[in-house]
Amino acid sequence: MTDILTFDEATTGVAAGIPYLALPPAGGVATAPLIVAWHAFGPPRSEAALAGSLPMAKVPAWRVYPGLPLFGGRLPEGGHAELERRWDSDYLLELFGPVVEQAAAELARMVADLRTTLPIGQGPIGLAGAGAGGTAALLALAESRVPVAAAGLVNAIIAPAPVLPRLQRRPYRWTDEAREIAAWLDFTGRGAELAARTPQTAIMIVNGERDDVVRPEHGAALYDALRRHYGESGRLRHIVVPDLAHPLGPEPGLEPAPPSPGPVLADKALTEWFLRHLTHSG
């Protein structure tokens, strides 16, 4: 774990205009699959912080952690003050919705560019994400054409409406536009779309027992929406991790945090999932 947290072998770069941090595949294989993992709005709120929390160090795949739109090296004009203004003004319409929409939309060109600079195989990729990054992964599954073999979601915001009271810093004022966006990003109602890929993407939903933003029942609702389409295939799983809160580390969440039990267990679960469903070496 120490080697991963110090990123001795990590590389950084820009693909299709998107900054990223990449960790090389375990075992030093020449050409390996790709896992794209998006960070959250809170700890971990950077590429390095998510790579420290969810390194998936035993997976023989490139793990690439892109920066989300409006965060880190992609701050809007006005910097952190503008980001805070958007958060306070309208979390859903000015921050959450635009960020996850853009992140999902730029996945295809980012993957294509990464394949020109890293020795990544041509097969299906893996997707992962924490918090809002998990929402971006779900949206990419629903709407992009990038082949995805497996996905792992940690405390993903499955539907924005139930969590807005915890995230918006004042009582939220619902408008017709806000209701439309909230319905679009409510993935409990999009199970058929998520399951429609051929072959079906293997999806693991990870919730924290101590998460007071995205409660485990949110993940259970998504699992139930998908189960009717997945049956007993073994390609769908929902787990609740003890000692895992919504943040995967302390504030400010920009650098890798010391290992703690909850994130370590979440990382172990994702590692086993991708070994089984992406690299087939578990």
Distance of CA 206 to the CA centre of its chain: 11
Which residues are bridge partners to 13 per DSSP?
20
> Alpha carbon of 132 to those of 13, 169, 221, 279: distances in Å?
22, 17, 17, 26
Indicate which CATH number applies to the domain containing 80.
3.40.50.1820
d(CA 275, CA 206): 16
Q: Token pair of 52, please?
A: 């420290």
Number of separate domains in the chain: 1
> pTM (2 decimals)?
0.95
The per-residue pLDDT for range 169-195, each reduced to its tens digit, is 788 999 999 999 999 999 999 999 999
Sign for the CA dihedral angle at 63, 60, 57, 276 comes to positive
SS3 call for 261: helix
- Stretches in the chain below the pLDDT threshold 70: 1-8, 281-282
What pairing do the DSSP bridges indicate for beta strands 18-23 and 62-66?
Answer: antiparallel
What whole-number percentage of the chain has pLDDT above 90? 88
Range of the structural domain that residue 253 is part of: 2-279
The pLDDT tens digits of the residues spanning 97-129 come to 999 999 999 999 999 999 999 999 999 999 999
